[in-house]
Structure 1
Amino acid sequence: MKNPRDLIKRPIITEQTSDFMANKRYVFEVDIRANKTEIKDAIQQIFKVKVTKVNTMLMPAKPKRYGRYNGYTTEWKKAIVQLSEDSNELEFFETV
């Protein structure tokens, strides 16, 4: 089994994701090869909560330019995790 901390890279905190927190939905950047069941198990192991639903989406690479050089950003995967009603909120999101 993969290490759960390798699957979950970082939380994504924006205005929109802050609104999700009222409904116990949290957004994470995850490994691009991770599937929904692996993400669910990793969140449950790391934070000791119960996950009811996981939505994933691939964020496409965008063209970027630095001076005369053209290139693309990397493609990455985003996961929106819904916690159960009886689960506690995640502690690092409480200060936001």
Structure 2
Amino acid sequence: MSQVRKNDHSLMKVLLGPVISEKATMVAEKNEQVVFQVARDANKSDVKQAVELLFKVQVDSVQIVNQKGKPKRYGRFEGRRDHTKKAYVNLKPGQEINFEAEAN
């Protein structure tokens, strides 16, 4: 099945930002993966194309995780945090994303 490449403008909206947490750092060091917060309607091929377009790296594979929002209370008001979607991106050997260099 041939992949249909979305236009670059729609791919820019797929990645919402990197996930900076203790778990994401451990995964990055141990498995050479990068974790991104992605749009709720994004799929694996969208994430792969977006990472390759934005960071000029080659992606090996992508795993997607849907995270349900936690119920929270604000005083007497009950609410829920938003549901989120994370993508664990495996880069091909020798590839690296340096967020400090990308910011400049």
Q: Same fold (TM over 0.5)?
A: yes
Q: Please say if 1:49 is aligned against 2:53.
A: no
Unaligned runs of 5+ residues in structure 2 are: 1-5
Specify the SS of the correspondent of 1:71: strand
Aligned residue number for residue 77 of structure 1 = 85
Normalised TM-score (structure 2): 0.82
Q: Compute the RMSD of aligned alpha carbons.
A: 1.5
In the alignment, which of 20, 31, 34 is matched to residue 27 of structure 2? 20
Alignment size in residue pairs:
93
Identity %: 34
Residues 30-76 of structure 1 show CA distances to partners (whole Å, capped at 9, x for unaligned) of: 00100100110000000000001100011002100101000111111
Unaligned runs of 5+ residues in structure 1 are: none
Once residues 16 and 61 of structure 2 are traced to their aligned partners in structure 1, the CA distance between those partners, rounded to angstroms, is 19
Once residues 62 and 93 of structure 1 are traced to their aligned partners in structure 2, the CA distance between those partners, rounded to angstroms, is 31
